[in-house]
Amino acid sequence: MGYRRILCTCLFFLCLAISPTAGAEVRDIVILYTNDFHSAIDPIPAYWLDREPTPHLGGAAEIMTLVEQIRKREAEAGRPVFLFDTGPATTRAGPRGNVSSSSALEGLRW
């Protein structure tokens, strides 16, 4: 399934490049890409960092915050932001794997 999304994305941009408007004004865009989210709703301990206490990193809330900060910054500069995810966002492994409609994931607007 992931390869299909990547192929469709590549075909989309190829079509844009060869469209009749290809000689028109050049605009910058921002592409954000995520992959293999696997129900990582909560931050995980960063055990690879040699710090006490061990900080927690990642999770849906942190990703959502970063995406919204980037969207806001780029909107002010007039650049559109596209968010692509090749999943899976959920793995169905336990109760957290069944959160395909959780409020944490809805904020990302997948």
Residue 16 has pLDDT above 50, yes or no: yes
Q: Is residue 9 assigned to a domain?
A: no
Number of domains in the chain: 1
Can you tell me the distance from the alpha carbon of 90 to that of 73, in angstroms, rounded to the nearest whole number?
Answer: 29
pLDDT in tens, 24-74: 677 788 998 887 766 677 888 888 888 888 888 888 888 889 999 999 999
CA atoms within 13 A on the CB side of 62: 11
Q: What are residue 71's DSSP bridge partners?
A: none
Q: Is residue 16 assigned to a domain?
A: no
Residue 5 has pLDDT above 70, yes or no: yes
Q: Is residue 13 assigned to a domain?
A: no
Domain hosting residue 60, numbered range: 27-106
Q: Is residue 7 assigned to a domain?
A: no
Query: Quick one: residue 59, left, alpha or beta (phi over 0 = left, psi -120 to 50 = alpha)?
Result: left
Q: Is residue 4 assigned to a domain?
A: no
Residue 40 sits at the vertex; the CA angle it makes with 12 and 70, to the nearest 5 degrees, is: 50
Can you tell me the distance from the alpha carbon of 70 to that of 73, in angstroms, rounded to the nearest whole number?
Answer: 5
Q: Is residue 37 assigned to a domain?
A: yes
Q: Is residue 35 assigned to a domain?
A: yes
Asked whether 90 and 99 are in contact (CB, 8 A), the reply is yes
pLDDT in tens, 73-108: 999 999 999 888 776 655 555 554 444 444 555 555
